[in-house]
Amino acid sequence: MSPGARERCKALRAEIARHDYRYYVLDDPEIPDAEYDKLMAELRTLEAAHPELISADSPTQRVAGAPSAEFGEVVHEVPMLSLDNGFTEEDVEAFDRRARERLGESGALEYWAEPKLDGLAVTAIYRAGLLEQAATRGDGFKGEDVTANVRTIRSFPLRLRGEAPAVLEVRGEVFMPLAGFERLNRRNEQRGEKTFVNPRNAAAGSLRQLDPRITAARPLQMYCYGLGRVSGWSPPARQSELLQALKSWGLPVCPHSERVHGVEGCLRYYRAMGERRARLPYQIDGVVYKIDRLADQERLGFVSRAPRWALAHKFPAEEAMTRVRSIEWQVGRTGAVTPVARLEPVFVGGVTVSNVTLHNFDEVRRKDVREGDTVVIRRAGDVIPELVRVIEERRPAQARPVALPKRCPVCHSEVLKPEGEAVARCTGGFSCPAQRQEAIRHFASRLAMDIEGLGEKLVSQLVESGLVSSPADLYGLTAEQLEGLERMGEKSGANLLDALERSKHTTLPRLLYALGIREVGEATSLALARHFGDLEALIEAARSHPERIEQVADVGPVVAAELRAFFAAPAHRELIERLRAAGVRWEPLAAQAAQLPLAGTTVVLTGTLAGMTRHEAEQALSALGAKVAGSVSKKTHYVVAGEAPGSKLEKAQALGVPVLDEAGLRRLLEAHRR
């Protein structure tokens, strides 16, 4: 290989990167597309002749590797928090007032205002300037590894320009421009393929393709708006300066963002973006205000899962009129009989809505919804379809008030609505196919037994065919039985049996949640498992000593009554024994906790934490094996003191117990999560 080939490759990569920067970041292309394509063709030819010259950051390597079987999980070291929403000018004024009061500022604050892109939040880590990993937001604490797909986004650099930090975690929004969305739908329509309802769905679906070649064919873009982890660099003083730094490294930022003065400036920006909304090249559902000074952002901190220094000001929810074709009743896993309005399909807020839940019979009566009514539908927060009101002057003469069914629409058992409760319930229990099907779906769900591949359609087939009438029946399925089902071949059947086998080793909190006990959700399951340690102790308390259950934090008499009723039922005790007989095992939580990094550590929380709730702090500590106590003693290992800590801090200082502030708590958690 001649030295000239190596140098030419290096020069071509640098030139292509410069043109990408001018095109995607500066919006100031220097050469026609045809000339750019010639440069790429020359680089591909050189790399084909000299494979040893191919590097990970070469623009020819955006699509690399075979399709993956699944997305890996990524834990965000710095959580990706959501934003609080505001819908009125009063909400924005209240947000501004709270910020000024907490900062002790009498004058107007400077804000950075930006469009709220309707896409998918993503975080990307660069190490030594090279893209290392990208992940979706997920639940804010864990997301999916989409590195291979983010690499295909042409506007997103594989290598940063200039002298970048040693580690830079940048956050932004992946979206599909409207022009690209329309081209994609036209192409799919011509090919007889499925079209997308809106750009957000198209972006989310494109980014979550297991084959990055499919993602590469989709017109995705990304705008960056913030940071996660950073090392080897001191951020500037302002949000606006931070975005300039990102731009200088070749990262695309939204060109329609600007610094504004005070709440009046925020509202002027909101109104201006509302007027420009229809002409923007991308879809937005509001604007975002961020206090510009980063030091002020740090002082304000966080509350629960949202920062105190930012607000999403949403545009009014879109509304449309349509007609109620019928009102039907659906039965859930706990027997709840829920009214659902079937509508003449109407396009509202970017999606076609044909069904809307009416929640419960009291809601039907309050709004006086009837079959044949003309109604106003809104997508609340641009997400959940909601029936706002009935237009009574358009009501047909034959429309009659809706009556609560006396019999279950599925199994014809009696429907009862206890006095004082809004929800009516089918009394059929597991003899009701609808409850049976929903209970099995819940049992298999991700937060429960996590049985991969056991989706709604397959559960429906299993129940309707009579193969499964109880969650325990799942563990008796055979390959021959599965192969007889629709769209279930030998390989997919084997995969499901493997997933069932893996699910046999679980945890007590997951098992409790999977059983589907009314009022016992994920957090309550964890609290009960932590308190009682094993299932037998919980069952004994539920049946003979319900007062012990009421002593569990965040668990009261309603939960205690539901547990007592559940474990008193012979069918439920039989279910647990059948699960045991099938090989399902759950370690006592005490046995698991002994192996955790903070096992034997006692922590006391006092005061208010800015970045997390007390419950979230307890969950994080308990997940690492620590015991969270209510009082300070010589056996306490740490006291975590937030704002207004009170007498517990004084006692800790008197006893010489180490005291951590919120930053110290986070360091403790991070040190033991690795």
Q: State the catalytic residues.
A: 116
- Classify each residue of 12-34 as buried b or exposed e, where b means 16 or more C-beta atoms within 10 Å of its C-beta: bbeebbebbbebbbeeeeeeeee
Q: How far is CA 337 from the centre of its chain?
A: 28
Quote the CA–CA distance of 613 and 618 in Å, as a whole number: 9
Count other C-beta atoms under 10 Å from residue 557's C-beta.
11
Quote the CA–CA distance of 163 and 166 in Å, as a whole number: 9
Tell the burial category of 114 from Cβ atoms under 10 Å away from its Cβ (0-12, 13-18, 19+): buried
CA dihedral in degrees (635, 641, 645, 647; nearest 10)? 20
Spell out where 163-273 has E strands.
Answer: 167-175, 221-231, 258-261
Count other C-beta atoms under 10 Å from residue 644's C-beta.
9
Secondary structure (H, E, C), 339-382:
EEEEEEEEEECCEEEEEEECCCHHHHHHHCCCCCCEEEEEEECC
Is 74 in a helix, a strand, or coil? strand
Is 396 in a helix, a strand, or coil? coil
Contact 589, 529 (CB under 8 A): yes
Please give the structure tokens belonging to residue 329. 């009743």
* CA nearest neighbour of 116 among 2, 243, 225: 225
Contact 148, 212 (CB under 8 A): yes
The identity of residue 328, as a single letter, is E
Quote the CA–CA distance of 507 and 334 in Å, as a whole number: 23
Q: How far apart are the first and last CA of the chain?
A: 44
Contact 225, 131 (CB under 8 A): no
Quote the CA–CA distance of 51 and 45 in Å, as a whole number: 10
How far, in Å, are 88, 186, 322, 341, 355 from residue 385 at the CA level? Answer: 20, 27, 13, 11, 8
655 CB-near residues (< 8 Å, 6+ apart): 632, 633, 634, 636
